[in-house]
Structures are given as C-alpha cells and as structure tokens.
Structure 1
Amino acid sequence: MPLRIASFSAPLLASLLAAAPAFADLARITDRAAFAGLVQGRELSRLGVSLRVALDGSITGRALGRDVTGTWTWEGGMFCRTLDAGDRLFARNCQVVSVDGNSIRFHADQGTGDIADFRIR
C-alpha cells in the first residue's frame, strides 16, 4: 500500500506545483536582490505546499506531508532551482519570477513551461 501512495503522490505533487490561477498585475523580477527581498524570512505556500527560499541558496519545506529540500541560484534574471520531494526529484530548471502583491509566480522552462503561483506569508 505505501508504494501505491508514493506513486500517486509524485504526480499529484507535480500537478500542484504546475496549476496556476490568473494574476491581475504581474511585475517581473529580474534582480536577485529584489527576489531576495521578497522571500527572505517568508514562507511560500499553496495547496499543501509550504516552502522557504533562503539567501544561502537552500530551499526547505513540506509538500503533501513530505519533506522538500533543494538549492537555488539566480542566473540571467531567472530563479534556477533543483528540488527533492520525497521520492521525486525535480531537475534543475530556470524560471521567470513575477510578483503581484503578496503572490509570487514561477514560470518554468525560462518562461515557456508550467506555472506555479504561491502566496508570500
């Protein structure tokens, strides 16, 4: 039974990290310092996912009851990250970052892929 739960959780986690509602006024973040100012000491949360992006380049949190760890850098005006969420590894991906008030959007594959919106708390 645990294997079925684990195999079900990985696709569910991927879909939670990909689904996104519309934002009203998105402002693209292209500067590491501006990004750091938004996330420093804050929690990024959405649908069973809670993450902290630290200035030392680490990512920690929980997703659907599983620990999440990862690393990030800022390259070419984009957030580039790797993630490990239990039995699921998310390869390095550079993402366009935009903000709208207390919401932040990550647009994968250099702005051409899936979108994940988080609340900044």
Structure 2
Amino acid sequence: MRKITLLLNACIVMTLASCVTTTEEQRIVSEQHFRDVVVEKKLSNTRVDVTLKLTQDGLIEGTEPSGEIKGTWLWDGTRFCRDVTTGPLKGKTCQVVTLKDTKVSVKDVEGKIRTATYRISE
C-alpha cells in the first residue's frame, strides 16, 4: 500500500510540474509567424525611447529622440530585412528575430548592429 501511495504522489508531482510553463526565447523563422506577432503592432524600446510600427505593406514607421524613423522591410528566407532611410538606425541589414513573452528581439547576423529588443503592444 505504501508503494502505491508513493507512486501516486510521484505521478501527481510530475503532472503538476508539467503544468508549469517557462517562457523560453523562440526564434521566428517564417514570414507568417512574424506577421502574426509583430506586423501592425506597436514596438517600443523605452531604454532608447524608440517606437516602431511595421505595416502589412512593408513600411517602417516610428519615432526616436531626434525625429522620425522611416523605411521598408521584407522577409527573406528565415530573416527580417530592413532598409531604414532616416535616423540612427539608417541602413540596410537582415536580422534574426526572436520572441520571448511580449518582447521581440532583432539581431544582426553579421554582428555590425547591436541586438535591439522591443515590447510588443496593440
């Protein structure tokens, strides 16, 4: 009887442990997933006071302390590519995108630009 009780307790503990979820960083590798999570949402990085919005038709709109951010974006294979024409983010690059909780991070695959993380909101 004692073995059965121990076995049942072990099963209960294992079941409860499987209910606890830890949010891990997840790489976004498809355009559809990127569009579902990021596009047409407000992206904000309060550390550097940057706010962005990527539109369905491939535009980048936003603000930063010295003014507006404008540019275009597209999805290439498994990466987000952008061409920003104004502001300190100016230039072309393709970036790896990761998601954790309500934050999205973009990392330059060539290591030329620091990883930027933005909070996603409606």
SS of equivalent residue, structure 1 residue 36: helix
RMSD after superposition: 1.7
Contact (CA 8 Å) 1:53, 1:60: kept in 2 or not?
A: yes
Highest RCO, 1 vs 2 (Cα 8 Å, sep ≥ 6)? 1
Percent same amino acid at aligned positions? Answer: 30
Contact (CA 8 Å) 1:83, 1:89: kept in 2 or not?
A: yes
Cross-structure match for 2:102: 102
Q: How does 1:37-56 map to 2 (within 5 A)?
A: 37-47=36-46, 48-56=49-57
Residues 65, 74 of structure 1: CA spacing in aligned structure 2 closer, same or farther, 3 A cutoff?
same
Q: How does 1:1-121 map to 2 (within 5 A)?
A: 25-47=24-46, 48-86=49-87, 88=88, 90-108=90-108, 110=109, 112-113=111-112, 114-121=114-121
Q: Which one-letter code corresponds to 1:31 in the other structure? A: S
Q: TM-score, normalised by structure 2?
A: 0.72
Contact (CA 8 Å) 1:96, 1:111: kept in 2 or not?
A: no
Q: Which one-letter code corresponds to 1:42 in the other structure? A: K
The unaligned stretches of length 5 or more in structure 2 are 1-22
SS of equivalent residue, structure 2 residue 85: strand
Please give the per-residue CA displacement for 1:9-50, whole angstroms capped at 9, x wherever unaligned. xxxxxxxxxxxxxxx621000100000001233100012100
Alpha-carbon offset, residue 89 of structure 1: 6.2
The unaligned stretches of length 5 or more in structure 1 are 1-23
Cα distance in 1 between the residues matched to 2:81 and 2:39: 17
SS of equivalent residue, structure 1 residue 37: helix
Q: TM-score, normalised by structure 1?
A: 0.72
Equivalent pairs counted in the alignment come to 96
SS of equivalent residue, structure 1 residue 85: coil
Cα distance in 2 between the residues matched to 1:65 and 1:28: 31
